[in-house]
Amino acid sequence: MEVIIRPTTQDAVNLTARLIADAINAKPQFKLGLATGATMEAVYADLVAMNKVGEVDFSRVTTFNLDEYIGLPPEDKNSYRYYMNYHLFNHINIDMRNTNLPNGMAEDEVAEGRRYEEAIRNCGGIDLQLLGIGSDGHIGFNEPISSLASRTRAKALTPATYVQNSVYFNPPESMPRRAFTMGVGTILDAKRIVMLITGSKKAGIAAQAIEGPVTSMVTGSALQLHPNAVVILDEGSASQLTQKDYYNWVFANEPEWARYR
Ligand code: F6R
């Protein structure tokens, strides 16, 4: 795992977007795994801006989102399909037919999980998976004690996730209590993982995921098992890391990061 700490949130966001754009430019038929949530909005704004000036081309990109609320149709403003169209897909040159999310209205939940896994497999797997982390350490909606070998399935959301996300719902109680999510195993199959963590509120959970033990209690810690994972943080979210000097040395000196310094 590599850890990169940038001075500001915007620097962390910019680096994340540049890593994604460079990866797409190196392989136009890119399979991109996407996340939603507040952290990602600025990343998508960056990618939209880069697409507008021709710095990244989405015309042959296929996307797979991590998760979707169960019971919300695509046109619901709180669905992750709506979020993705609103923040990214409607503003870039992507073919909408190549954008994939679990179907929150699927009647057969087991079959929906299987369908999504097959769709990812049939595309040859995800080249780069973008991740945020929840206040309870979740990646996707893999809540504490999710199996580290789990695949796409329906998952009940924890009270911590309810507190984090119900603010977007009106009334808050209308937030679904369950969601489809790629499993931790699905996520770990991606060829590369880029996690973005910003804000001092995430400092404690960031330290647990990066430097704590690998545990299903903090599914973000499963990134420690991945051979090609990078976590990008701002100063606020990095404040409880114990090995900051080492991470900063690596970023300042390793040749692979020269073009991003
Ligand atoms: C959403 C997702 C979640 C979020 C996490 C952080 O697709 O996968 O794991 O990344 O809940 O959300 P924010 O950025 O709103 O703090």
**Residue linked to tokens 């700490």:** 5
Give the single-character DSSP code of 169: S
Asked if 48 contacts 90 with a C-beta cutoff of 8 angstroms, the reply is no
Give the burial class of 214: count Cβ atoms within 10 A of its Cβ; 0-12 exposed, 13-18 middle, 19 or more buried.
middle
- In the reported structure, the alpha carbon of residue 36 is separated from the centroid of ligand 1 by a whole-number distance in angstroms of 6
Report the pLDDT value the prediction gives residue 209, as an integer from 0 to 100: 99
Report the pLDDT value the prediction gives residue 189, as an integer from 0 to 100: 98
Measured by CA distance, the residue closest to atom 3 of ligand 1 is: 140
Report the pLDDT value the prediction gives residue 4, as an integer from 0 to 100: 98
Q: Is 138 in the pocket of ligand 1 (CB under 6 A)?
A: yes
Identify the band that residue 200 occupies on the pLDDT scale cut at 50, 70 and 90.
very high
**Residue linked to tokens 């503003």:** 91
- In the reported structure, the alpha carbon of residue 88 is separated from the centroid of ligand 1 by a whole-number distance in angstroms of 16
Coil, strand or helix at 12: helix
| Mean pLDDT calculated for residue range 170-178 | 96
Single out the residue of 95, 33, 87, 110 nearest to residue 59, CA to CA.
95
Report the pLDDT value the prediction gives residue 214, as an integer from 0 to 100: 98
The structural domains of the chain, with segments of one domain joined by +, span 2-260
pTM: 0.98
| Mean pLDDT calculated for residue range 200-209 | 98
Identify the band that residue 239 occupies on the pLDDT scale cut at 50, 70 and 90.
very high
State which ligand 1 atom lies nearest to the alpha carbon of 37: 15
Report the pLDDT value the prediction gives residue 54, as an integer from 0 to 100: 98
The tokens of 50 are what? 């880069």
Each residue's pLDDT tens digit, 15-61: 999 999 999 999 999 999 999 999 999 999 999 999 999 999 999 99
Strand order in the sheet with 2-6: 2-6, 229-234, 192-197, 128-131, 31-34, 62-65, 99-100
The tokens of 67 are what? 């998760």
Each residue's pLDDT tens digit, 62-121: 999 999 999 999 999 999 999 999 999 999 999 999 999 999 999 999 999 999 999 999
Pocket test for ligand 1, best of 32, 39, 67, 167 (most atoms within 8 A of CB): 39
* Torsion sign (Cα): 162, 168, 171, 176: negative
For domain 2-260, which architecture applies? 3-Layer(aba) Sandwich (3.40)
Asked if 123 contacts 206 with a C-beta cutoff of 8 angstroms, the reply is no
Strands (DSSP E) found in the chain: 2-6, 31-34, 62-65, 67-69, 99-100, 128-131, 153-156, 178-181, 192-197, 229-234
Report the pLDDT value the prediction gives residue 93, as an integer from 0 to 100: 98
Say how far apart CA 86 and CA 91 lie, in whole Å.
8
Each residue's pLDDT tens digit, 120-172: 999 999 999 999 999 999 999 999 999 999 999 999 999 999 999 999 999 99
Q: Looking at the chain, how many residues does it have? A: 261
Report the pLDDT value the prediction gives residue 61, as an integer from 0 to 100: 98
Single out the residue of 230, 153, 211 nearest to residue 184, CA to CA.
153
Report the pLDDT value the prediction gives residue 29, as an integer from 0 to 100: 97
**Residue linked to tokens 């999504």:** 116
Report the pLDDT value the prediction gives residue 87, as an integer from 0 to 100: 98
Single out the residue of 131, 129, 127, 126 nearest to residue 195, CA to CA.
131
